[in-house]
Amino acid sequence: MKRLDIRNIAIIAHVDHGKTTLVDKLLIQSGTFRSNQQVEERMMDSNDLERERGITILAKTTSVKYNDFTINILDTPGHADFGGEVERIMSMVDGVLLIVDAFEGCMPQTRFVLKKALEAKVTPIVVVNKVDRDNARPQEVINEVYDLFIDLDATEDQLEFPIVYASGLQGIAGLEPDKLEGDLRPLFDTIVEHMPAPDADESAPLQMQVTMLDYNDFLGRIGIGRIYRGTMNLNEMVSVTTRDGEVKKARIQKLFGFSGLQRVEQKTARAGDIVAISGIDDINVGETVCHVDHPEALPLLKIDEPTLQMTFLVNNSPFAGREGKHVTSRKLRDRLMSELETDVSLRVDETDSPDAYVVSGRGELHLSILVENMRREGFELGVSKPEVIIRMIDGQKMEPAELLIIDVPEEYTGPVMETLGQRKAEMVNMINNGFGQVRLEFIIPSRGLIGYRTEFLTITRGYGILNHSFDSYRPLVPGAVGGRHAGVLISHETGTATTYGLMSVEDRGTMFIHPGTEVYEGMIVGEHNRDNDLVVNVCKEKHATNVRSATKDETVKMKAPRMLSLEEALEYLNDDELCEVTPQSVRLRKKYLNKSDRERYEKQRRYEAQPQA
């Protein structure tokens, strides 16, 4: 039996190919808002960080009306680090809109999200977006999409996908690239015509699977998912089959549907609907909510394991407690545990020290977003260098590897290939796209990508574009891969950096601080020109004398310091260094602030590295 009035779809694409902008226009043109209502751009990106960075971090659910149909739309992230969101959502929908940029074509995340969609056997519609941009090449991009479908072993039915051409920014679409209509009606019509209606046996016992989590201080944990069969009623007693196979009883205290950007309270929901429920305190992703007398579990959803880990520590620097309001171990632990309420791709493990926690995630961006959110909430913490998670598979050590796709002007291909060769990257493809641009494809150990983005932008003078996504676990590459080769300049004492002090050491390397910056002993203030660390005194003051000459105090010009963002600071770290993160500052420091302690640690490290007789 089908619910003919409903279509459940997900929008998937590589980052920045226009998913969220297209959803904006679908919402507006469906009449979801009043004609005089003010709406923001990228309205689905409700988080501050999403708005600032122009990326989607969390999957969002919305619903629009078109004629007599309800179209439930799930907007998914495009970044590899949030791929876990995409995987789970495939179980909620019957079809996907695959958005592909009319110039960039198929990118790493296009492959990743399409692979997940084809594995879930959902119906695809391809939307070639941004056909109005300069250098658009829609026909070539469609050929790339067909090649990608074939490469991913799509079935004959999946290869019969309809194609819609669109400009999400202008809110127009058409079935030919050069014949776009004045609105998105061709896209709406294609969704209604080609997307299958959900199977929905309303007379059978209730079955709903939780696919996403949210959290509310008043309602607690909220489970979001699709009702596969039966009906669900407010205040109804239900059975919950947990991931461990246990069955427990609970009551549906709140039941929400979706309309536009709002959650709407309702008393009943039917098979085929996507709903949010509260009242089950420890509900988790993949668990099944069933009729109280028929606890039948749906197959558990697979949640990909983390590939990267960092240690989060209580801030113990000399400047601890100056800027943040949450500085204790208890506050840090409570915050990390609360993150687990909604982020199922995250792992938090306690260590021998009560002040340190190992946090594992899907990538640098995944973990740096967590750190950035915490600093904005008033936390102070120290963070260690990101490290990949090595696994034993069939008795062999394996490490994560990434598919890396780079677009660069031709003149930079040599330096890029040379630096990636040093990081144990293996080239798998090279395409000259014309326009003087070359696309390079590599398989590279995830270790080799840590810290590479900054080096890459320097090599290509900012003209290169780098994208990557998780590929597979591969045998561990022996020896060091990647890492920083330069040493650092370390502050000799605690005080305030002076112009005279910085001028006296700026020929030794690149500075990270301005005159007037407060520093402490063991803080990293710059990068050394050589591969060893150097202790410098940036607080040194010029001694006053009674001898003056006419030209003595001419204005001096200092080089502008290199200011590191949070992501750049995390990438920059070495094993013996930490990043101190506070609401107002990001500082690099040595784990051991005292010089003699550092020398003792280095001797111990070298001794342990020697083969023992």
Task: Cite the annotated binding site for GTP by residue number.
Answer: 16-21, 129-132
Q: Who's near 301: CB < 8 A, 6+ residues apart?
A: 87, 88, 91, 209, 211, 285, 286
Q: What residues form the annotated binding site?
A: 16-21, 129-132
Closest CA to 278 of 217, 202, 344: 217
Dihedral angle of Cα 276, 281, 287, 291, to the nearest 10 degrees? -80
Closest CA to 129 of 99, 104, 108: 99
CA distance 500 to 506: 10
Tell me phi and psi for residue 561, to 5 degrees: -70, 160
CA distance 252 to 227: 14
Dihedral angle of Cα 192, 193, 195, 198, to the nearest 10 degrees? 70
CA distance 582 to 159: 51
Closest CA to 341 of 421, 282, 384, 393: 282
Q: Who's near 388: CB < 8 A, 6+ residues apart?
A: 307, 308, 309, 399, 400, 445, 446, 447, 450
Q: Who's near 434: CB < 8 A, 6+ residues apart?
A: none
User: Coil, strand, or helix at residue 293?
Assistant: coil
Tokens in use for 377?
Answer: 């909430």
CA distances from 405 to 87, 412, 428, 449, 590 (A): 22, 14, 10, 12, 34
Residue in this structure with the two tokens 């579990």, named with its chain if needed: 297
Tokens in use for 173?
Answer: 């679409």
Q: In 131-266, at which residue ranges do the beta strands (DSSP E only) sit? A: 163-167, 172-174, 207-216, 220-229, 231-233, 237-241, 247-251, 254-259, 262-265
- What letter represents residue 349's amino acid? D
Q: Residue 101's CB: how many other CB atoms inside 10 A?
A: 21
CA distance 119 to 100: 19
**SS3 per residue for 378-438:** CECEEEECCEECCEEECCEEEEEEEEEEEEEEHHHHHHHHHHHHHCCCEEEEEEEEECCEE
Q: What is the largest CA-CA distance in the chain?
A: 99
Bridging pattern class, strands 220-229 and 207-216: antiparallel
Tokens in use for 330?
Answer: 């208890």
Tokens in use for 606?
Answer: 């070298």
CA of residue 24 relative to chain centroid, distance? 21
